[in-house]
Amino acid sequence: MSDARQHIVYPVSRKVDHIDVIHGVEVPDPYRWLEDPDSEETKAWVEDQNRVTFGYLGEIKARSWLQQRLTKLWDFEKYGIPFQRGDRYFYSRNSGLQNQSVLYTLTDLEGEFRVLLDPNTLSDDGTIALSGTAITEDGKLMAYGLSTSGSDWQEWHVRDVETGEDLPDLIKWVKFSGAAWTKDGKGFFYSRYDEPNEATKLEDVNYYQKLYYHQLGQPQSENVLIYERPDHKEWMFTGNVTDDGRYLIISVGRGTDPKNLLFYRDLSEPESPVVELIGEFEASYSSIDNDGSRFWFLTDLDAPRSRIIAIDVERPNRANWEEVIPEAAEVLEDVGILYNRFVVNYLQDARSLVNIFDLDGTFVREVKLPGIGSVRGFDGQRHDRETFYMFTGFTTSGTIYHYDMVTDESTIYRQPQVDFDPADYETQQILYSSKDGTKVPMFITHKKGLPLDGNNPTYLYGYGGFNISLTPNFSISNLVWMEMGGVSAVPNLRGGGEYGEEWHQAGTKLQKQNVFDDFIAAAEWLIDRKYTNSAKLAIGGGSNGGLLVGACMTQRPDLFAAVLPAVGVLDMLRFHKFTIGWAWCSDYGSPDDPEEFKALYAYSPLHNLKPGTAYPATLITTADHDDRVVPAHSFKFAAALQEAHEGENPVLIRIETKAGHGGGKPTAKMIEEIADQFAFLVRVMDMKIEN
């Protein structure tokens, strides 16, 4: 018997006789009390669970080696994408193991850089993170947001770039918002919520966001309310100022639904009204730039893979709209204007393709990328002739390139040096058939010369939701996994954005089961093709990906050896009752709708655990300050799983403190968590590693 299957005595999770009646269906919720993270009983439960979990992990010999190896490989310089404002450049850098990256400024690309903001000095344990920045056009002032312990709540400050000193300005109760400076640098627009109850701010539902203008030097209480809609509590506002400074563009969204409204305000006219340009939630619209009253928009209206259109706000009738760049076979992901040309980032089978067009839509050229991978960047302003981008792949660390818009030349600006040889590994992209015959792509990466003997430890990672695409990305954790002889597999499930809005919608609401079918089919393909077997197959995912693996383990407990649900959405009948959870109804559907309730109840991981079932070895991870997916999801699922599970496979929960949904998590905490997850897999899958 493997030592993974030694008997574990789990903490007792008290059950209560609580039953909800939803659309006539009685739904027991015996662990409802775990929804209160601040009660003494919940705190004691967390301590007891962590004691068992860390006791188990502490017995794994490979754990210390994994942490050392991760730490050694993680210790390399990491760079953010530089950008220019005024006569200055700005970029972030992490020397290797710093808990938070440091923001620098410099006046010459090859000159001396100066620290502008070091978040590591703001807390002893690295749990205060820089969550957003906005620089004035002249590069002299920076608005910046700070997040504490991973919370989505932010406080914004203003710093003088030249002196490095903060101004007295303080903006609080900001969430899901950046800052947009006016062209004169005298103030900025931002969105906030009303001040929450301090005791329950990490759980309470977030409604009624409002758009404000902050004038430098003013107390927040005197900020000007630009727009609110008390008749639509779920509307959220993003304000952006056009490069010419004339217009405020207001994008109105309903949570995570890609469909939005677009309003604008003429800033050249004092007290000008907010004008509704797009007044129906029919498609997504994103403002690119404008020539006077003529605006370019990226939209998926009548184009699920997106296109570029032009609208003159002085002639806004739809009959006057123009198509500038039509929908292509590839998904149009992002677009900007540099050197008076469109720079368009496409996704071609989940890989980046960048094309340049004239402003009339005439194709100019394809940007020669360094290889097959993912690209971010190409940011800048209308007349910039230079820009930067980051290129990364499964075995290529994030390399920064300087790109000349005139000469079409890419030159390496910063290249991280990681202690491994990419030539030792290979990546392939395959297509497999899902349950309904849909062809789904999957990336598979491993050491060269891997024997297809059906016995390789394999980590299958997925997401499948919210129009988010999983593209090639470099990861130290994947590298360590492959060093140990593991296979890394990443399928591009329906629900994501890899093939446009139709692909996204095919994995939402009443069709969410397609996502789980796609993932299960990926697992079966890997087994059928002799990459692995069920005793060597682990699955993992975070947030919506936590839901993915939670649903798959309840539907096919026989198929997997181990499951790692991280900060998962696991109670599909109450997710909408906490913080921003209501916003996910666009993807999941609402439990308040009778038909959507049936679909949610049918796959909700918490509600589909069957007593007496032998579930895979499971390590649930969450954090006590997660105010995106509140920890109650993981708490209740862990309690129910430990009760329902039969057999000696460990089912544990690891609860991080002073951390949130993942954003801004200190490097040290990330390394510790990954080492624990991999140590768990080494033990339960009886992996042999040389160390």
- Tokens read off for 464: 């499948």
- Tokens read off for 122: 């703001």
Per DSSP, the three-state class of 264 is strand
Which residues lie below 8 Å from residue 586, measured CB to CB, with a gap of 6+?
A: 254, 255, 256, 257, 258, 508
3-state per-residue secondary structure call for 321-386: CEEEECCCCCEEEEEEEECCEEEEEEEECCEEEEEEEECCCCEEEECCCCCCCEEEECCCCCCCCE
Known active-site residue 661: yes
- Which residue's structure tokens are 């123009």? 322
| Terminal alpha carbon distance of the chain | 23
Crossing angle of helices 513-528/594-603, nearest 10°?
30
Which residues lie below 8 Å from residue 664, measured CB to CB, with a gap of 6+?
A: 100, 127, 128, 129, 130, 131, 147, 150
Which of 214, 625, 645, 661 is an active site residue?
A: 661
Q: How far apart are CA 423 and CA 430, in angstroms?
A: 20
CA 413 to chain centre: 26
Residue type, 415: Q
Answer whether 226's CB lies under 8 Å from 239's CB.
yes
Q: How far apart are CA 636 and CA 607, in angstroms?
A: 10
Which residues lie below 8 Å from residue 343, measured CB to CB, with a gap of 6+?
A: 335, 336, 337, 354, 356, 367, 378, 387, 405
Following DSSP, what letter does each residue of 511-578 receive, concatenated? Answer: GTHHHHHHHHHHHHHHHHTTS--GGGEEEEEETHHHHHHHHHHHH-TTS-SEEEEES----TTTGGGS
Which of 177, 284, 434, 543 is an active site residue?
A: 543
Q: How far apart are CA 553 and CA 543, in angstroms?
A: 15
Known active-site residue 166: no
Q: How far apart are CA 492 and CA 469, in angstroms?
A: 7
Which of 626, 633, 634, 676 is an active site residue?
A: 626
Phi, psi values for residue 445, rounded to 5°: -130, 140
Known active-site residue 87: no
How many helices and strands (H and E) does the chain possess?
10, 39
Widest Cα–Cα separation across the chain: 77
Q: How far apart are CA 597 and CA 607, in angstroms?
A: 12
- Which residue's structure tokens are 């005024």? 86
Closest residue by Cα to residue 370 from 472, 445, 480, 481: 472
Residues tagged active-site = 543, 626, 661
